[in-house]
Amino acid sequence: MEKVLFLKGKFVEKIWGGDRLKNFGYDLPSNKVGEYWAISGMDDLESEIINGSFKGQNLKDIYKDHKELFGKEDKASFPLLIKLIDANDDLSIQVHPDDRLAQKYENSLGKTECWYMLNDEPSSIIYGLKVNDKNEAIKLIDEKRWDDLLREVNSQKDDFFYVPAGTVHAIKKGSLVLEIQQASDITYRLYDYDRKDDQGNLRDLHLEESKRSIKTELVENKPEKKEYETYIRTDLLSNQYFEVRKFEIKDKTSFKREKPYLLEAVTEGKGELILGEERYPIKKGDFFILTNLVDNFEIEGKVSLVESNSK
């Protein structure tokens, strides 16, 4: 039984996509790749296991059939989705429903997410609203007064943004994002800058669904950084669905697995994952799961990882 599952994800082409994910060592299918679904158990976009006895199988089935690897977690399907997003153009202004609304109208989980920014050049995002009254927000939407409604903030490498369900948001041109979210693909498009597709048609909007889902308050989130002799740990987020941490490894470091399983995204550098006598090379662009069979592990090399776990 494998202690660690290395994963190969699937690329999703988008009209706003680009080719910067090649810098993660990937062989891209086109220069319009918007998303890489790196750790996914969702239908049709499941990650593939690329090592050991499960090689060639998908994460959806492994999670269903081998609960012992995931601490016998009591969830019907793999609960998180981890993506890389390359915005070569502005994404539409969006909002996601919370669990209650998603279950009622979509028979789905809601979509709370967070973004760890990887772009080297400064960019910006739409992050919440300039007003804190929902009725006022809806009035501004109906009047198409987007400049009076949308809150735009600067973003750069290593910034972190918590985007709970109901937060109006958009990733803008130049952003390169590691996104960790609930395993849901329910997105309501509120506004798309009146852009037209290749056939000259405006893209569909979901105005009523968006207005129903909007929440106006921004939730405070303050990452906490601690520096140790061989590494830096930054606790980025803990909410009811998942936790997110960043580790910047400077020299060989030992860890104890403290969660049922850990999802690891290598964002910079290269090194080795050491499990007893077993050594695995790791590098920027790798994604892997440390299963419940791992007790202690070591990371060696100059390497940065963003780690997450479900709750």
Angstrom distances, CA of residue 83 to CA of 13, 115, 182, 202, 253: 13, 10, 11, 27, 26
Cβ-count burial 52-84 (b if 16+ within 10 Å, e if not): eebeeebbbebbeebeebbeeeeeeebbbbbbb
Contacts of 43 (CB under 8 A, 6+ apart): 60
Q: Name which of 35, 82, 28, 29 is nearest 59 in CA terms.
A: 82
* d(C-alpha 146, C-alpha 131), whole Å: 12
* d(C-alpha 241, C-alpha 102), whole Å: 15
Considering the candidates 189, 195, 245, 257, report the single residue annotated as catalytic. Answer: 189
The residues that bridge with 153 in the sheet, in sequence order, are 125
279 among known catalytic residues: no
* d(C-alpha 262, C-alpha 289), whole Å: 6
Catalytic machinery residues: 189
